[in-house]
Structure 1
Amino acid sequence: MRRNDVAQYDALAGEWWRPDGAFAMLHWLAAARARLIPPATRPDAILVDLGCGAGLLAPHVAGKGYRHIGVDLVTSALEQAREHGVRPVRGDATAVPLGDGCADVVSAGELLEHVVDLRGAVAEACRLLRPGGLLVLDTLNATLAARLIAVTIAERIPGAAPRGIHDPNLFVAVRVLRSECARHGVVLGVRGIRPSVSGLVRRLATRRGEVTMVPTWSKAVLYQGRGVKNG
């Protein structure tokens, strides 16, 4: 199976909600991403979760007042997302079957490093936002450090990354992403993010337990973005 093959997610369907399974780190990142999302400020506010997978963001935003819509290509993942309160929509991140300006928040978590058409995916994320809407994301930087850590090392650590899940040629340079967002009226603030040292050491020693993701000065590997669409 080639790298970044979407069929891998069907093969790994039973791993999504296992806290110590193959997608453990996605749980940690979902919790960190949710901390960037404020409570809804109006009734019927909508959060569009691009590349939602099995809905790992859902528990972390459940009390914030959003109607949570999840968009993904993988039917087996969307079925699980529905079970966790997400309204599932099958669609490609570069051609989302939702209307312009429908979303108060768009989340693109661990998605952009998987899309071949980065420009198209960013355009869609920004199109979905209403004026004043919030874009939140996290992704992998296009650096040698990211290739080493996210592929060479992480694919050998249980729960860090399934083998072959990433194609490092699709990793996303900060400069490129900020430029693409700006083209669509979103000024993206960016910061690095990493696992807490104590949590990671405990995880490596026991192979269990959630790890808190914390901000860091370095954006060389993982980074978060947050930006508001111009009115």
Structure 2
Amino acid sequence: MSSDHPLDRPVWSALTGRQSHLTLKQGAALRFAPDYGLFAAAPDISAQSMADLAALVVAHGDVALVEAEGPPPIPGVAVRTNAVCWQMVADEPNEVGEAAFAFEDLAEADAPQMLALATLTAPGPFFARTHQLGRFVGVKLGGQLVAMAGERMRPPGHTEVSGVCTHPDHRGRGYAAGLMLEVAARIRARGEVPFLHSYAHNTGAIALYQALGFDFRRELVMTTLTRG
């Protein structure tokens, strides 16, 4: 499970680096605190590391691994879901231009609406404090948040674009693309590289990401573990 590139093990890279202050630890295994996210990782697949991972699940609930392959069988836990993901990276700058719509930076006061929108549209795991993992921008109409995009995992030199979603009543207006480009531009302005993950079967989303300058880097497996 070791790798020289931080994106080969993005969760481990984030949890042992800039986001280590958001983690819970059991032995050698780490996870985001549940209010922030599901993601967890261990240094390797040794019996002790897997036992530590199982203890995290028992103590704090389901976790999600994002690795080159799924874990071996782990006593005490069960696989709830298993899916192939595409990891995509925007190495070259994108032309952002002037947005065709008004958007704004989202703040703590927007947290209830952010959680409600993510719960409705299911862009990926999103919890009460997921919005605190990075900066988010959004579109509001009549005071209602109808679209947003933001940041999630932050491995060294990189930041993940995530939480991209649009209310079903307001799709087809370019909100997702415009907000993603803005988030990616802000990441790049900090001297970092934007990246993202998409389920491999979500060909529509992948086509959008490619049009926005994100290129396939590698396949990874997202495995969700629950109490056995």
Q: TM-score, normalised by structure 2?
A: 0.31
Relative to total residues, which structure has the larger helix share, 1 or 2? Answer: 1
**Higher RCO (CA < 8 A, seq sep 6+):** 2
Q: Which structure has greater strand proportion?
A: 2
State the TM-score, normalized to the length of structure 1. Answer: 0.31
